[in-house]
Structure 1
């Protein structure tokens, strides 16, 4: 019995290593109760940073009065509340976001905004309000486009795109195992792309003990295969 458990553990370690090496991006979703609900952010990541937009004056483009020292350029405004035909505050489990958030574009009906981060990351999260198919997030490393996702890629149970109160289209969205990026672009070809609580971070580097376990697992598998051949 002990031998079987040991071999299963080895196989599990090997499988995890294979899945982490392909660098496939995973998207998952959490309910955001309010602006104060940071449990939706993946705190598993090392030293993650979060931008709440709460330090910025409303009805202005994001500038130096922010939580993070990112450089913003483009067409967007920090807003609060909702304005008919322009933007709607992201909806939580019971009510709308009561804090400041970012609306892209503003005031035109098409535009984008870029955030230069000053470092590279592989995790991105945001509270995405009333997800629309014409909303796009693009990730860059330098001048190279690494990955891009539209609202159509956000599948959370149904296709109620643009619904301002549906739980499936007002969620905290986590992008895991992204290709490394140092800037992102938020684009909307219509009104609007509403965003709050943007987070970036890096997956932790495997500890030496974990790598040793993986190496031991490979040796164990090789030995088992050799003994089988010998028989």
Structure 2
């Protein structure tokens, strides 16, 4: 085999590997804005029906929404978790999704359907149930871990076409954003993306704690690259309070790693070349 042929093969393999690595590269992108929800909950993701109802079509497209309202439970008639409801302020509220919800302490996570001064304010235009964090000690971070690992492991029982999927989109309605609020997104224990109150307020020119302005009450969209495997997120707050609603996840089938596929093709080419040389 000539040196020219050898060099050509090496260059081709290197190019394939480089292309494979590039196709896997990328980072989460964050954007703002959704659509007006028709169920009275303010804003929701533009990728689902404005009613926030989980239908067969919604599921087939790989989207699920948590509204914290029993009226939008899926499947219809399924039970929900009311352990975070507030006595006298949570009629019709519950956590519907099959999630592992772990607050950092007692009383850190609550679900309610009204606003109370110095306790929590519903996101602008939201007249339904919403979730919020309350710090154990003001000025000290408290958090709520929301884990989709079990959901992802069992989503194929809801729709077989979604088996083996991972989350490549998450959206949520963030209410009266404060400088002491933040969200972090993880692949297991590895941080893959985050957004803080100061970042959002600077981006939209909002004011901390404003309960009515669209610049301080907005729908946040986060798109994750194929190289990322987001499966849990954390809501963090050190003040009163961190409010959120209409949490939407979008699923995507996990593609075969391109770099490994191209490596296999390259090695196969080299092996065939050696065979023909013999």
TM category, shorter: 0.5 to 0.7
Superposition map of 1:53-68 within 5 A: 53-55=68-70, 57=82, 58-59=85-86, 65-68=94-97
CA gap of 1:20–1:203, structure 2 versus 1, over 3 A, is farther
Residue 87 of structure 2 is aligned to residue 51 of structure 1: no
* Aligned position for 2:115: 82
CA gap of 1:73–1:159, structure 2 versus 1, over 3 A, is same
Superposition map of 1:74-113 within 5 A: 74=103, 75-91=108-124, 96-105=125-134, 109=138, 110-113=141-144
Corresponding residue SS for 2:215? helix
Which structure would you say has the larger Rg? 2
TM-score, with normalisation over the residues of structure 1? 0.68
Corresponding residue SS for 2:231? strand
Q: Structure 2: 5+ residue runs without aligned partners?
A: 1-19, 49-57, 71-80, 153-165, 256-278
* Aligned position for 1:72: 101
Pairwise CA distance, 1:172: 1.0
Pairwise CA distance, 1:28: 1.7
Q: Separation in 2 of the partners of 1:31 and 1:123?
A: 13
Q: Separation in 1 of the partners of 2:241 and 2:119?
A: 7
Pairwise CA distance, 1:147: 2.3
* Aligned position for 1:42: 47
* Aligned position for 1:170: 217
Deviations 1:98-141 (CA, angstroms, capped at 9, x unpaired):
11000112675352111111224121100100111211111122
CA gap of 1:132–1:203, structure 2 versus 1, over 3 A, is farther
CA gap of 1:18–1:151, structure 2 versus 1, over 3 A, is farther
Range 35-44 or range 78-87, more displaced: 35-44
Corresponding residue SS for 1:153? helix
Pairwise CA distance, 1:20: 7.0
Of residues 24, 27, 30, the one that matches 2:27 is 24
Q: 2:147, 2:233 within 8 Å by CA — same for their partners in 1?
A: yes
Q: Separation in 2 of the partners of 1:29 and 1:19?
A: 27
Greater fraction of residues in strand: 1
TM-score, with normalisation over the residues of structure 2? 0.57
* Aligned residue-pair number: 184
Q: 2:114, 2:121 within 8 Å by CA — same for their partners in 1?
A: yes
Of residues 231, 237, 246, the one that matches 1:188 is 237
Q: Structure 1: 5+ residue runs without aligned partners?
A: 1-16, 207-231
CA gap of 1:19–1:157, structure 2 versus 1, over 3 A, is farther
Pairwise CA distance, 1:176: 1.4
CA gap of 1:157–1:106, structure 2 versus 1, over 3 A, is closer
